[in-house]
Amino acid sequence: MLDPCEDSITGLRARYRSGEVSVHEVVARHLDRIEALDGTLNAVVTLNPHALSEAAALDASRSEVGPLHGIPVVVKDNIATAGIATAVGSVALCKHVPDTDATVVTVLRRSGAIILGKTAMPDFAVSWHGHSSRSGYTRNPYDVSRDPGGSSSGTAAAVAANLAAAGIGTDTGGSIRVPASFCGLVGIRPTVGAVSRHGIVSLVREQDTPGPLARSVADAAALLDVMTAWDPHDPSTAGPAHARRGSAAAALVPGALSSARIGVVRALCATGPADDPAVADVIEQALAAMRARGAELVDIDLPGLGALLRGTFHYPRQSRRDINRSLALAGTAIRDVADIVASGQFLPALALLPVIAAGPEDPSTDPGHGAAWELRTRLQHVVAAAFAEHRLSALAYPTVRIAAPRWANVDNGVFEDGALDTWTSDESTFPTNTLIAAQAAFPAITLPAGQTSGGLPVGLELLGLPHDDTRLIALAFDTERALPPRPIPGLVLSSINRETTS
C-alpha cells in the first residue's frame, strides 16, 4: 500500500472516499514523518496543536467539506495563523500569536485542508537562502549539506521530504520559485492579486503574492484553484477575479505544447562564471522534450534587461514602509523593522535587512522612488513586446542558473548573504532569473526539468502575461509529462530504508 505521505492530493481524496484511510490516520502519519525527519531538515518551526482533532472532526463529518478535504498543508511563517505563532522568521517576533487567520489560510481551512504547521523562512523574507534568526539553518532533503533556497525554504523542504502533501509560500523576488527549483518541486507565482495578501507580512506590496508549492503540477493547480478569489480586504484581488479565465484544474489536459510558441531567452540560459553548465545542459534537454511534444521554440532577446532589473529593485526604498505597515496591521509588539535591526535581533548574514531598515519610512520622500516605478512600466513593456512580436505563449529559461549551493559556500559569502559590509543593489551575486516575473509583476511557474549528474534538481521557469495563469499551468502540465519523473530525495529514501529494515 502506498504510504499516504507519498500520495498526491487526488490520490488522498480517492482513498478517503473509498474508506481505505481516515483523515486522522493520514495527518498522524505526516506528524510522525515530521518527528522522524525534521530534526535533520529543520523545516517546520511550529506545529498546529489541533491538527489531529481537526482531522477527527473531518472524519466525523462523513462527507467532503471541500476540494482539499483532509489534505495536510504547511504554511510559511509570514502568513497569519490564528492561535499559532507567526514570527516572519524573526527571533524578535517569535512570541507573536495572531488572533485571526490570513485570508488564504481561511479559504484553505474552509476547503477542508489541515494546517499541519508553520515553516521556516529567513527574517522578513530578505534572502535567497534558508537561514534565519528564529530557526537557524534549513536543509535540502536532496543533500542536507546544501541550501533549500529562500525565502519559502521550510515550505519547500517540507513538501519535498513528504512532511506535507503541499504547502503555501510567498514570492516577492523569487521566494517560491527558487526553493521549488532547488527542491525539485512545482512552484507557482500567480498574477499579483489573484490570491489575497491580507494577513501576510509584506516586503514590496506591488510584487508580493502567495502561491502553492507541490510535487506535481496537478497538486499545485488544486491549491491555486482554492486560493484564487476576490477578497474585500485586499482590493488588488478585484481585477484578477474579474479577469480569471477558467479553473487551473480545467487546464490539466495534454496537448498544450502542440500549439505553443515558446520564447527561449538565451541570455538567461548562458553559462557565465557564476553559473553551472550542468544546469544549462538539463535545461537544453527539457527544451528538446518540449519541442518533441510539438512546441515551437523561438530564441528571443529582452533589450536592456539587466539595467531594468537593477533600476526596479525596490527593497531599499520601499520595504521598510511595507514591512512596518504589515506589523501594525498584525498588532505585533514591535512596529518598525529598524528597531529590530538596531537591537541586533536578526541574522547578521542577511545583508539586505540593514539596508531596508535604513531606508525611508515614507518612500515618496526618496527622489528616485517615482523613477523606479516608471522603469517598472518599461520592464513590463519590454517583456510584453516579446510576446506580441513573436506571438508567444510563454517565455522559458532556467529558474536559477545553479543547483542548490552548499551551505559552506553561502556562509563564506559566495553570494550576497554573509557579505554584510559589501551589499550592493547594482548586481546580485546570486544567479537567479526569477526577478523578471517578480519585478514586472507577471505570473510564472517553475517545474522540475531534471537532475544534474549529482542528483540535484534543476528548475525550468515558464513566464506568462498577467491573468494568463491557466495557460501557464496547461503548458507546465504538458511539459511535465515529457520530463523525467521527480526522484525521491535522499533523506526520504534513507528513512524508507530504515522503516523497511526495522
- 493 or 304: which leads in pLDDT: 304
pLDDT over threshold 80, residue 425: no
The reported pTM is 0.97
Per-residue pLDDT tens over the stretch 264-314: 999 999 888 889 999 999 999 999 999 999 999 999 999 999 999 999 999
* Residue 211 grid cell: 502561491
pLDDT over threshold 50, residue 187: yes
Q: For residue 79, give the nearest of 43, 119, 107, 42 by alpha carbon.
A: 119
Identity of the residue numbered 22: S
User: Is residue 217 within a helix (H) or strand (E), and if so which, with residue range?
Assistant: helix 217-227
| Per-residue b or e along 57-91, where b marks 16 or more CB atoms closer than 10 Å to that residue's CB | ebeeeeeebebbbbbbbbbbbbbbbbebbbbbbbb
Region of poorest pLDDT, from 14-18, 212-216, 296-300, 411-415: 411-415
Mark whether 76 is an active-site residue. Answer: yes
Proportion of the chain above pLDDT 90, given as a percent: 90
Mark whether 151 is an active-site residue. Answer: yes
Three-state SS at 361: coil
Q: Report pLDDT for 385.
A: 98
pLDDT over threshold 50, residue 141: yes
Cα separation, 144 vs 191, in Å, equals: 33
Cα separation, 155 vs 83, in Å, equals: 19
**Identified catalytic residue from 127, 135, 151, 181:** 151
Cα separation, 90 vs 85, in Å, equals: 11
Tell whether the torsion through CA atoms of 117, 168, 331 and 352 is positive or negative. positive
pLDDT over threshold 50, residue 45: yes
Domains and CATH numbers, the chain: 4-501 (3.90.1300.10)
Q: For residue 50, give the nearest of 7, 2, 13, 101 by alpha carbon.
A: 101
Cα separation, 12 vs 17, in Å, equals: 9
pLDDT over threshold 70, residue 500: no
Q: Report pLDDT for 429.
A: 74
How many C-alpha atoms does 467 have within 13 Å on its Cβ side?
A: 11
Three-state SS at 186: strand
pLDDT over threshold 80, residue 359: yes
Per-residue pLDDT tens over the stretch 444-480: 999 999 999 999 999 999 999 999 999 999 999 999 9
Does residue 151 have a cis bond before it (omega within 30 degrees)? yes
Cα separation, 263 vs 11, in Å, equals: 35
Averaged pLDDT, 80-106: 98
Q: Report pLDDT for 371.
A: 94
User: Is 449 exposed, middle or buried (CB count within 10 Å of its CB: 0-12, 13-18, 19+)?
Assistant: buried
Q: Give the relative orientation of helices 490-501 and 23-41 as an angle to the nearest 10 degrees.
A: 120
Specify the residue for cell string 516579446: 386
Per-residue pLDDT tens over the stretch 376-404: 999 999 999 999 999 999 999 999 999 99
Averaged pLDDT, 412-437: 73
pLDDT bin (cut points 50, 70, 90) of residue 420 is very low
pLDDT over threshold 80, residue 428: no
**Identified catalytic residue from 132, 152, 153, 175:** 175
Proportion of the chain above pLDDT 70, given as a percent: 97
